[in-house]
């Protein structure tokens, strides 16, 4: 693979209850485990960061596919829900639901674009076969 860009981040402190900062300082956050996982919930957490990254990356892939197909997406959006839970083997696993909204297109056309985006999105390619990812499409 020819690397086009490399992001660099450093976690310090106590992991989920520590601090994370990127080498360029654009991300500089205190972390805290969510209340649902016994933490204070007073900071961001890795699942939020993953959800934000996946949503943005998938939306970009969707826009790339639409441009290639000469389709106007209008006011589209992509939301990501990232769940975490025990895997039954002493560890944890993630699950993702991507909510694609393309209000200006017929549902079938928007779904076809989302399915194509799911094939080219780097996050989708990285997670495929590793975690359950569900892609839903709505028009509102």
* Domain ranges in the chain with CATH number 3.30.300.20: 46-138
Instruction: Tell whether domain 46-138 is in CATH 3.30.300.20.
Output: yes
Q: CATH classification of 1-44, choosing from 3.90.1150.10, 3.40.50.150, 2.20.25.10, 3.40.720.10?
A: 2.20.25.10
97-119 pLDDT per residue, tens: 999 999 989 999 999 999 999 99
What DSSP assignment string belongs to 25-74? Answer: SS-EEEB---GGGTS---SB-HHHHHHHHHHHHHHHHHHHHHHHTT----
Residues of the chain with CATH 2.20.25.10: 1-44
CA quadruple 120, 123, 125, 128: dihedral sign = negative
Q: In a 10 Å sphere around its CB, with 0-12 CB exposed, 13-18 middle and 19+ buried, how is residue 2 labelled?
A: exposed
Task: State pTM to two decimals.
Answer: 0.95
Give residue 139's pLDDT band: very low, low, confident or very high (50, 70, 90). Answer: confident
Mean pLDDT of 31-56: 96
Distance CA(81)–CA(139), nearest Å, equals: 18
| Mean pLDDT on 50-79 | 97
Please state the three-class secondary structure of 91-129 as a single string. Answer: CEEEEEEEEEECCCCCHHHHHHHHHHHHHHCHHHHHHCC
């Amino acid at each position: 693979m020819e690397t086009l860009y490399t992001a660099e981040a450093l976690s310090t402190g106590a992991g989920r209850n520590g601090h994370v900062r990127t080498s360029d300082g654009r991300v500089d956050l205190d972390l805290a485990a969510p209340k649902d996982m016994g933490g204070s919930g007073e900071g961001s957490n890795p699942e939020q960061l993953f959800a934000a990254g996946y949503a943005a990356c998938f939306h970009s892939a969707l826009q790339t596919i639409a441009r290639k197909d000469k389709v106007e997406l209008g006011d589209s959006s992509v939301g990501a829900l990232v769940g975490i839970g025990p895997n039954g083997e002493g560890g944890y696993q993630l699950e993702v639901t991507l909510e694609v909204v393309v209000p200006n297109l017929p549902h079938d056309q928007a779904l076809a674009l989302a399915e194509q985006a799911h094939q080219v999105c780097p996050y989708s390619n990285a997670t495929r076969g590793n975690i359950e990812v569900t892609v839903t499409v709505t028009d509102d």
